Amino acid sequence: MENYKKTILDNGLRIITVPAESANSVTVLILVGTGSKYETKEINGISHFLEHMFFKGTIKRPTTLSISETLDSVGGEYNAFTSKEVTGFWAKVDKRHADVALDWISDIFLNSQFDEKEMQREKGVIIEEVNMYLDTPTAYIGDLWEGLLYGDQPAGWRVIGEKENILSFTKEQVINYYKSHYSSSNVIICIAGGLKAEEMEEKVKSYFAKIEKSAEGKKLKVIEKQNQPEILLHYKKTDQTHFCLGVRGYDLFDKRRQALSLLAVILGGNMSSRLFIKVRERNGLAYSIHTSVDTATDVGYLVTQAGIDHKNLEKSVELILEEYKDLRENKITEKELQKAKDYIKGITSLSLDSSDNQASFYGMQELLEKNILTPEEKFKKIDAVTIEDIQKVAEDIFVPEKINLAIIGPYEEAESSKLKKLLKL
């Protein structure tokens, strides 16, 4: 049974309502089909910059204080995010304050002034955000990893952009980008939580019907080129070596993505996974080690990330590659497969207890895949994966020409050839 409703207005705006009348909260989530993959080199970072500017003042709420005070005054939570393919804005409140959230989020989304002075001030804020990421290896290593995979094209650029770009953005550029990407047909409003479906839908229509339709921005096709293992060394004096070791995978529309997700769980998805036990518990090499999958509309990958003592880099890489190779050459057990399936279904079910995750679950599927599966339908796809499916995926991805290693630590470029020799499968 579908526990959501999707409505498309005349202007192309999609409204998704996910009622859960027993819930105490309501979340309003706006998703826009744009991000850094829709940018050119000259304006890389503008999607993220624009996201910040929605919080700088409207006619009704002319200051940042008046914007933040609105939801702070009712104990609400709110934020925004930008990724390579999605920009989002959300507000979560006690269901008694649903109108406050709708009025607030529609106001910043439709009526932001993009004031020149605020723009100049925000440049300083975002530069410090850049500096924070550069000083946070656990976050920055992910950017370096994607840069290694995709190189000098939108998929390989940082979402936040380069400092030179951030400092050069003009009001005209920001407004032009807004007009060309924030079209009604490229926007989804998803509202989830403790309201009746009809009530939710009417409220959204009354607040958002005036979103304008315009031509939508396009993104370039990602080009993947690799025929041997690749390595990237980023020199930095750190207390730990941080690395991402992984392989190219599958996009959102590939039928093998469920098997890939289960494979990642078996490898390093939780505290009883192979790599957590092998690298942390048996060898004491890492506090944190985790394997995850990223699936975009056009590309994807599987990656293992860890932070370790500098002297343990080679051993850690060897241990991870041992598990990659073992999965390629030997079948997993039925017990391992079932545990991974139950884990994914369990964490999904737990997350859907909250209205914000409900909104994201349905909204993101509609935006990126233009197709919504209920949790039950997703679980059926997970349950259908076999041991043979897992091994076929392992045989396909765990090969030398798909493997990559990105490293942050006190390593000179001269060491790359020695480290590259480790990347054998």
Active-site residues: which are they? Answer: 51
Contact 40, 219 (CB under 8 A): no
**Integer Cα distance of 296 and 305 in angstroms:** 19
* 300 bridge partner residues: 295
**Integer Cα distance of 10 and 279 in angstroms:** 55
Kindly provide the b/e burial profile for residues 250-276, where b requires at least 16 CB atoms within 10 angstroms of the residue's own CB: beeeeebbbbbbbbbbbbbbeeebbbb
Provide the 10 A C-beta neighbour count for residue 351.
14
Count Cα atoms within 13 angstroms, Cβ side, for 381: 15
Q: Which two tokens stand for residue 355?
A: 């209205």
What single DSSP character describes residue 354? S
Q: What is the DSSP string of 159-198?
A: TT--HHHHHH--HHHHHHHHHHH--GGGEEEEEEESS-HH
Sheet strands side by side (includes 230-235):
230-235, 403-409, 241-248, 300-308, 286-295
User: Using CA of residue 11, residue 13, residue 16, residue 17, what is the dihedral sign?
Assistant: negative
Q: Which two tokens stand for residue 137?
A: 């290896």
